[in-house]
Structures are given as C-alpha cells and as structure tokens.
C-alpha cells in the first residue's frame, strides 16, 4: 500500500513537472515578444491544457497530505515563504488567462502578471528542490532550520536553473504546436536555453562536489545511478540533431526525457528517504486505515481515469494549432 | 492585542477562505443554472435559453477561474501555517481533501474544458451531459469540503495513536448527522446565491429597459427558485443549530449571547455582549423562545457560557453578531422572493420599480449571509481546531515568526484585493453589456469565436 502511494506520488510529481513545466516556460517566454499575434498564438498553445496541468500540483499536494502527512507538514512549513510566493505567482498567472481578454486597455497588466507569475512560480519550485537536495536542518527528527532554512546560494542557483529548464521545455512545446513566426523564434531560443541549462548543470555539479553534499555519497554507493545522466546525454544529442534537422516533433520529447532523467536521478538518490536524509518513506506513511481508504476510494480507479482524461485532453488538442478557434 | 504569528495565521486563513468561498458559492449555483438552461433549450428550442447560456457561461468562466486559483491556496495552507494540525490530522483530513481533488476537481476541470472549447465538436446531448457533470463536480467539491470541515467541528470515528488521529470508522466520519445538515445548508446557500444574482441581473435589465426578454426569464426563474429554497434553507439552518446545540454547547451559548444557565431560556434578539462583565448590554429578549429554539421545549434548561472555563470559551461578539446578520439577510431574501414571485404571477412585478430596485440591490445579500454564516461556524468553534481535542494555539507551525506571517498576510491581501477588484469589474462589464442575441450570431457560424473574442476584448 505504501509503495502504491509512493508510485502515484512520483507519477503526479513527474506529470506536474513536465506538463506545468512547459506552460510555465511558455509563460516566461511570453516576455520575449511584444507582438500581440505572437502572444496570442503562444497562449493558444497552452490555453486548453494549462489548468489541467496545474491540477497535478494539487493532486501532488493532497496525496502528500493524505498518504505522507509528516512530509506534507514538514516541507510546506519549512518552505513557508517559497510556497506562498509560488502560490501567489500561480494565482496571478491563472487569472491572467481569463482577464487579458476582458478589456484591451488593461491587457498589459495581465501580460506582465502572467510573465512574472510564471517566473516566480518556476523560480520558487527550483529553490525548493535545491534546498531539498542540499538537505534541511533537523534536530531530533523535527525540522529546525527556521523560516529561512531554505535560503542558500545553492537553492537560488537551482531556482534559476529550473526557470531555464522550464523555458527550454516551453520553447520546444511552441515549436511543436505553432507555426510561422512563433516557431522560428522558439527555434532560435532552444540552442541558447539548452546551452544555459547545460552550463547550469555543470555549475551545480561542481557546487555539489565542493560542498561535499551528502547526496554525492549516494552516487558512489549506487553506481547504477549513472544510467540516468547517460539517458540525459543521449536525449541531449538527439535534441541537438533534431534541431539541426528542423524537426518540430522530437525536441519536446527529448527535453521531457531529460526532465525524467533528472527526476529519476534525484528520486533514486533520495531513496528510501522522502526528506533526505531524515524521514524515510515508511516513517512518513499514514496509518493503513488511511492508505487503504484512499486506495479503494480513488487511487485504484479515479487515478487511472485522471490519467486517461489527461491523455484524451492532449489528443483532442493534438497537432498544430493552425485554424483552431478557442476561448482564449 | 499583540500581532502574534498565531493571530496573523488565523487572520490569513480566515481571509483566504472567506475570499475563496465567494466564488464556489457563486459557481455552484451558476453551474446548475447553466445545466437547466441547456436542458430547456434542448427541450423547447427557444433561442432565449441559448442566449442566456452563452452569456452566463462567460461569467461562469471568470468566477470559476478565480475560484480555482484561490482554492489551490487552501490545499497548501494547512501545511504552511498549521503544520502540527496537518501532521496530526493528515490521516483523516488528507484523504477527505484528496477525494475532493480526485472526484470533484477533476470532474469540473475536465468537463469545463468541453463547455468552453468543444461546443461544435460534441453532440448536443454530450454537451448537456458535460454541463451536468460540471454542476455535479462543483457540488461534490462542496460535499468533501464540508465533510472535512465537519470532522474538525465534530470529530468522530478516530483514535489517537502516536500523536496522530488514526481513522477507525470512515462511515462515522462521512455519514453523520452534522454532515447531512451542514452540507445541504451550504449547497442551498450556493443555489440561493445563484438565484439572487440571476434575478438581480434580470431586474437590472428591466430597470434599464434593455434585454427585456432575457431579463424577464432571469428575474422569474431566479425569484421562483428562491421562493421555494429560502424556506427549505431556514429548516436546514435549524438542523445545523441542532448539531451545534448537541456537540458544541459553548458555541451555541455564544451565538445566543447566553452567559448564564436559564430555565426556561429566553432568546436574545439583539444586544451588545460584554465579555469582561459576562453580561449583555442593551439587551432585548423574548422569554421562553430560547428553549423552544434550542430544544423544542417550553421548560428546558439551556447552558450559559459561564459553565465553561474562560480558556474554553469562544469569542462571543463575532459569532453573536455574524449569526444575526446571516439570519437577517435570510429573512430579507425570503420577503423579496415571496413578494416578487407573487407579483410576478400576478404580472405586476415589472411595473413595480421599487421592488425591482430592491431585487437588483439584493445581490450582495446571499454572499454576506454565506460569509457571516461561515464566520459564525469558524469563530464559534474556537479555541479549537479539532473540537475539544486540539487547540488552535497548539496547531500552528511552531517556528513560524510574526514577521513572516505578517509579510505573507500583506501579500495575500494585496494580490487578492488586486485581482478581486479587476475580477469584479470585468464581471460587472460583462453583466452590464448583457447577452448578445444568439440566434443572430449563429448565422455567421465561422467568425463566432473571433467575434466573441473581439467583443470580449473590444
């Protein structure tokens, strides 16, 4: 039962990273153009799916609370400021979709909110991942780092890195969904963003080595972990060649694969800890009466339905946008 | 009063939840109304229903978006500010909120996409089905939220083990009498909100002599529904009072403004409670009515607040006042709905400008009633988060500092006021602009989306 909920949690986090990742990325890239036609095309490329994508954040949150209450309580309270700033960013960008079409005179307000909201949410997510990798301070099993325990140059670096990663994913999505000018612009952005992400990874690695982060020992203990960076490298090579061949389809999947590899690396280096290296999965799990209630009531059948629904949603709006009319 | 992290966290939770509740309250009713309109259009073929559907769908979209984004905050705020509570009650509250997400949120978000994007891609029956699913989703969402909140008000079906609440009987948690009075009370409140907003918009159009056909339909449907539902709501309100009386006697005494035991008890209609003197100033009360309301008896003894030690008493002034505001709004709505429906049946409503004005101006009443009702329930259950078991003061994130809590509170207020002002302004513009005739626009099928877009963006 515990393993079941860990798997669902992992799937939800990964889906959130990939799906909201690209639409947060498109949100940030909106800041790179001033043309209303381009902006509209970019928003249309994520309009039908963005709120479904964000659902996975809520799904992650409630699975965490129900199945692993200790982790939910510890992480959210330790990340008080980043979580609140992330939520405010998501609020601002969420309402902007609807509001920007209400009145031309105020459109610039909502475009700014959309860009800044996307940036803030992405940055804060990166900061939280970075702080987790670096390790939070615990005393006698209780978090003891205070309100600013997450703050370090490493976590800030990771915040910037995730923004770049999301922007890269977003650019690949635009290449896949759009044509004409938006696609051309995104094509030019991909190599720059990819190079920046690569540089970021190198810096993070050096930083982790020089700080002698505990996570590095995992790599020595578990050499099979190197399989994931290897997948990442292969994906990067295919990405580069598909860009050179002006392919619209593959870049998005290759960057997604890089995200999967990064996620797999972290998840398996943490294993069996949920909060490294303090709280294990078993210690965090809710009592069996809770887990089985959630299993029979939703995990077993509603979760697959949600996956199915997500798949159908993407199928309905698959392909290039072209003449598709929509609400946004 | 010091601005402690505890007080700031309470204000922040109260503020964000009060802000959030406005939108679901509105959209639950609207979703049902959209389903009814779509069904009526399929059945009668009258274009006015379709015109109204398209019009209210736009408003639904704006309100729904604001409800979703302000709701996401709620899913995380238990953890940020109330980490001790969320660690202890996670095994019970977590699953309940996850049911809300899995069952309801998915349903509404999914089928809402069909409503917005797929009118021309699916059959009319599937479209109707989709609107019904959105309505069902919003109602289910309210159900799980009410189950969750009710467990905190009336904790049942659990044992305490290793410092956490371990569920032992889910049927007691979900199917208890408190849930089944509080959930209908909330749903009826939401339907009444929808009904009054629709009726008020109709009255507004008739007063401005615009969109007369649509205005008439809105006014009548809204008023008739309200005329039936307000009395039912009063009955369920009474049932809610019964659970408070049985399970939360201190809250009941605070709402009643009763400081000392009385037999038979009188009912305080209006007063200014004075917590230091433990008595009421400027009190007007009706003998014996208190016992009748509380226990359906002429002789029952009803407990007063002084039966409880001071540290177990809720604040008195807020629940006492908010309860009376809620009931007052309910009674005004009853009068408007009945008088309006009567005149409407007699075909004299449209000439009665005074009543039309009153109905037009009545739209804030259901919102005020919901928020004050919620405050009655939530302030009245203090000083507990899990009633009688876990105190609010012990529920908070232990290391949260007052400056951090103050910063987040200010940010929430700033962002919410900002988006709320614009959101209300945009809804006002949509309402003011009124419905555009659907049968006219359908002739030019192709540019509809673009035309709607330009109309919306001007």
Prediction pTM value: 0.89
pLDDT at B122 over 70: yes
Confidence of residue B449 (pLDDT cuts 50, 70, 90): very low
pLDDT at B446 over 80: no
Tell me, what's the pLDDT at B84? 92
Report the alpha-carbon distance of residue A315 to residue B20 in Å, rounded: 32
The answer to whether residue A229 is domain-embedded is yes
Contacts by residues A40-45 (CB-CB < 8 Å, ≥ 24 positions apart)? A40/A328, A41/A178, A41/A180, A41/A182, A41/A321, A42/A174, A42/A178, A42/A182, A43/A97, A43/A100, A43/A328, A44/A321, A44/A324, A44/A326, A44/A328, A45/A173, A45/A174, A45/A177, A45/A178, A45/A182, A45/A321
CATH number for the domain spanning A28: value is 1.20.1630
Chain A residues in contact with B110 by the CB 8 A cut-off are 52, 309, 313
Report the alpha-carbon distance of residue A214 to residue A276 in Å, rounded: 9
Per cent of chain B over pLDDT 90 is 45
The answer to whether the CB of B390 falls within 8 A of the CB of B381 is: no
Q: Of A17, A56, A10, nearest to A170 (Cα)?
A: A17
Instruction: Provide the shortest C-alpha distance from residue A69 to chain B (in Å).
Output: 5
Tell me, what's the pLDDT at B429? 87
Chain A residues in contact with B419 by the CB 8 A cut-off are 91-92, 95, 99
Instruction: Provide the shortest C-alpha distance from residue A286 to chain B (in Å).
Output: 6
B454 touching chain A per CB within 8 A = no
Q: How many residues does chain A have?
A: 328
Q: Report B:64-103 residues touching A (Cβ under 8 A).
A: 65-66, 68-70, 72-73, 75-76, 78-81, 83-84, 86-95, 97-103
pLDDT digits (tens, 9 = 90+) for B177-192: 889 999 999 999 999 9
Domain limits for position A271: 13-286
> What value does the mean pLDDT take over residues B235-256?
90
Confidence of residue B440 (pLDDT cuts 50, 70, 90): low
Tell me, what's the pLDDT at B447? 35
CA distances from B162 to A72, B87, B95, B242, B290 (A): 17, 11, 19, 34, 43
Instruction: Provide the shortest C-alpha distance from residue B99 to chain A (in Å).
Output: 7
pLDDT per residue of chain A (328 residues) written in tens, 0 to 9: 889 999 999 999 999 999 999 999 999 999 988 888 888 888 888 877 887 888 889 899 999 999 999 999 999 999 999 999 999 999 999 888 878 887 788 888 899 999 999 999 999 999 999 998 888 888 887 888 888 988 988 899 999 999 999 999 999 999 988 888 888 888 889 989 999 999 998 898 888 888 878 888 888 888 888 888 889 889 989 988 988 888 888 888 998 998 998 888 888 888 888 888 888 888 888 899 999 999 998 888 889 988 888 887 788 777 777 544 444 4
The answer to whether residue A61 is domain-embedded is yes
Relative to beta strand B390-391, strand B384-386 is antiparallel
pLDDT at B441 over 60: no
The answer to whether residue A235 is domain-embedded is yes
> What value does the mean pLDDT take over residues B166-183?
90
- Split into its structural domains, chain A has a count of 1
Annotated domain spans of chain B: 14-228+355-457
Q: How many residues does chain B have?
A: 458
A144 touching chain B per CB within 8 A = yes
> What value does the mean pLDDT take over residues B78-101?
92
The answer to whether the CB of B317 falls within 8 A of the CB of B278 is: no
The answer to whether residue A266 is domain-embedded is yes
pLDDT digits (tens, 9 = 90+) for B375-400: 999 999 989 999 989 999 899 998 88
CB-based contacts of B109: which residues, under 8 Å, 6+ apart? Answer: A51, A52, A55, B68, B137
B355 touching chain A per CB within 8 A = no
The answer to whether the CB of B254 falls within 8 A of the CB of B380 is: yes
B456 touching chain A per CB within 8 A = yes
pLDDT at B437 over 70: no
Q: Indicate which of B117, B168, B404, B414 best probes the interface with A, i.e. most A CBs within 10 Å of its own CB.
A: B117
CA B242 to mean position of chain CA atoms = 20
The answer to whether residue A181 is domain-embedded is yes
CB-based contacts of B176: which residues, under 8 Å, 6+ apart? Answer: B150, B154, B156
Tell me, what's the pLDDT at B281? 82
Tell me, what's the pLDDT at B455? 31
The answer to whether residue A206 is domain-embedded is yes
- Per the DSSP assignment, residues forming a β-bridge with B107 are none
CB pairs under 8 A between A and B: 219
User: Token pair 């009674």 is at which residue?
Assistant: B331
Instruction: Provide the shortest C-alpha distance from residue B409 to chain A (in Å).
Output: 10
- Using the beta-carbon criterion (under 8 Å), do A76 and B73 form an inter-chain contact? no
The sign of the dihedral angle between the CA atoms of A83, A305, B116, B201 is negative
Tell me, what's the pLDDT at B118? 75
Tell me, what's the pLDDT at B452? 34
Q: Which letter does DSSP use for residue A41 in this model?
A: H
The answer to whether the CB of A18 falls within 8 A of the CB of A298 is: no
Tell me, what's the pLDDT at B439? 58
In this complex, the residue of A51, A72, A103 whose CB is nearest that of residue B109 is: A51
Tell me, what's the pLDDT at B284? 85
């Amino acid at each position: 039962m515990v393993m079941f909920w860990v798997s669902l949690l992992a799937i939800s986090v990964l889906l959130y990273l990939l799906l909201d990742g690209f639409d947060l990325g498109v949100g940030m890239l909106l800041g790179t153009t001033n043309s209303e036609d381009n902006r509209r095309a970019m928003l249309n490329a994520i309009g039908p799916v963005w709120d479904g994508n964000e659902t996975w954040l809520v799904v992650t949150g409630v699975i965490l609370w129900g199945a692993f209450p200790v982790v939910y309580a510890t992480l959210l309270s330790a990340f008080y400021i980043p979580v609140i700033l992330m939520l405010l960013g998501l609020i601002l960008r969420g309402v902007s979709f609807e509001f920007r079409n209400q009145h031309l005179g105020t459109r610039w307000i909502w475009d700014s909110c959309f860009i800044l909201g996307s940036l803030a949410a992405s940055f804060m997510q990166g900061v939280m991942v970075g702080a987790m990798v670096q390790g939070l301070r615990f005393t006698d099993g209780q978090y003891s780092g205070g309100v600013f325990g997450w703050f370090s140059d490493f976590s800030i670096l990771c915040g910037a890195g995730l923004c770049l990663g999301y922007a890269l994913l977003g650019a690949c999505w635009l290449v896949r969904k759009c044509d004409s000018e938006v696609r051309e612009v995104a094509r030019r952005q991909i190599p720059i963003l990819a190079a920046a992400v690569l540089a970021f990874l190198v810096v993070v690695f050096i930083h982790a080595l020089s700080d002698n982060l505990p996570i590095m020992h995992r790599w020595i203990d578990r050499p099979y972990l190197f399989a994931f960076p290897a997948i990442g490298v292969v994906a990067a090579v295919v990405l580069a060649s598909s860009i050179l061949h002006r392919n619209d389809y593959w870049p998005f999947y290759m960057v997604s694969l890089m995200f999967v590899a990064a996620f797999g690396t972290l998840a398996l280096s943490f294993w069996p800890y949920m909060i490294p290296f303090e709280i294990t999965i078993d210690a965090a799990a809710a009592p069996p009466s809770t887990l089985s209630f959630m299993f029979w009531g939703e995990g077993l059948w509603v979760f697959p339905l949600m996956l199915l629904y997500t798949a159908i949603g993407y199928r309905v709006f698959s392909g290039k946008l072209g003449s598709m009319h929509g609400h946004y | 009063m010091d601005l402690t992290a505890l007080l700031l966290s309470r204000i922040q939770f109260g503020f964000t939840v009060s802000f959030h509740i406005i939108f679901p309250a509105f959209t639950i009713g609207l979703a049902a109304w959209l389903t009814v309109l779509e069904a009526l259009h399929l059945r009668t073929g009258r274009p006015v229903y379709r015109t109204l559907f398209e019009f209210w769908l736009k408003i639904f979209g704006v309100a729904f978006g604001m409800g979703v984004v302000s709701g996401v905050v709620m899913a995380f705020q238990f953890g940020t500010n109330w980490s001790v509570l969320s660690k202890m009650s996670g095994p019970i509250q977590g699953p309940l909120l996850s049911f809300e997400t899995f069952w309801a949120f998915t349903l509404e978000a999914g089928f809402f996409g069909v409503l917005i994007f797929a009118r021309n891609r699916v059959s009319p029956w599937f479209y109707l089905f989709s609107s019904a699913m959105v309505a069902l989703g919003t109602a289910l969402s309210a159900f799980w939220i009410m189950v969750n909140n009710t467990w905190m008000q009336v904790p049942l079906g659990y044992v305490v083990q290793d410092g956490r609440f371990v569920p032992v009987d889910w049927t007691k948690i979900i199917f208890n009498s408190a849930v089944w009075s509080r959930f209908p009370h909330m749903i009826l409140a939401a339907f009444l909100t929808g009904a009054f907003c629709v009726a008020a918009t109709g009255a507004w159009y008739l007063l401005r002599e615009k969109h007369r056909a649509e205005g008439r339909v809105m006014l009548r449907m809204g008023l008739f529904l309200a005329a039936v539902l307000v009395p039912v709501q009063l009955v369920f309100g009474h049932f809610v009072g019964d659970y408070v009386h049985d399970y939360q006697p201190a809250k009941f005494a605070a709402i009643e403004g009763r400081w000392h035991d009385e037999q038979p008890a009188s009912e305080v209609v209006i007063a200014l409670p004075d917590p230091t003197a433990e008595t009421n100033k400027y009190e007007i009360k009706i003998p014996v009515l208190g016992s009748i309301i509380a226990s359906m008896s002429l002789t029952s003894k009803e407990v007063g607040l002084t039966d409880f030690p001071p540290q177990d008493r809720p604040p008195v002034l807020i629940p006492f006042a908010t309860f009376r505001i809620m009931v007052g709004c309910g009674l005004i709505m009853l009068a408007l709905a009945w008088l309006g429906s009567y005149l409407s049946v007699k075909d004299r409503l449209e000439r009665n400008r005074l009543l039309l004005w009153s109905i037009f101006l009545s739209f804030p009443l259901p919102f005020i009633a919901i928020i004050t009702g919620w405050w009655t329930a939530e302030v009245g259950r203090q000083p507990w988060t899990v009633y009688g078991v876990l105190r609010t003061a012990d529920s908070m994130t232990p290391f949260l500092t007052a400056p951090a809590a103050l910063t987040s509170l200010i940010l929430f207020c700033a962002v919410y006021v900002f988006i709320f002002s614009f959101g209300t302004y945009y809804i006002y513009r949509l309402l003011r602009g009124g419905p555009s005739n659907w049968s006219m626009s359908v002739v030019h099928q192709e540019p509809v989306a673009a035309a709607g877009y330009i109309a919306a963006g001007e």
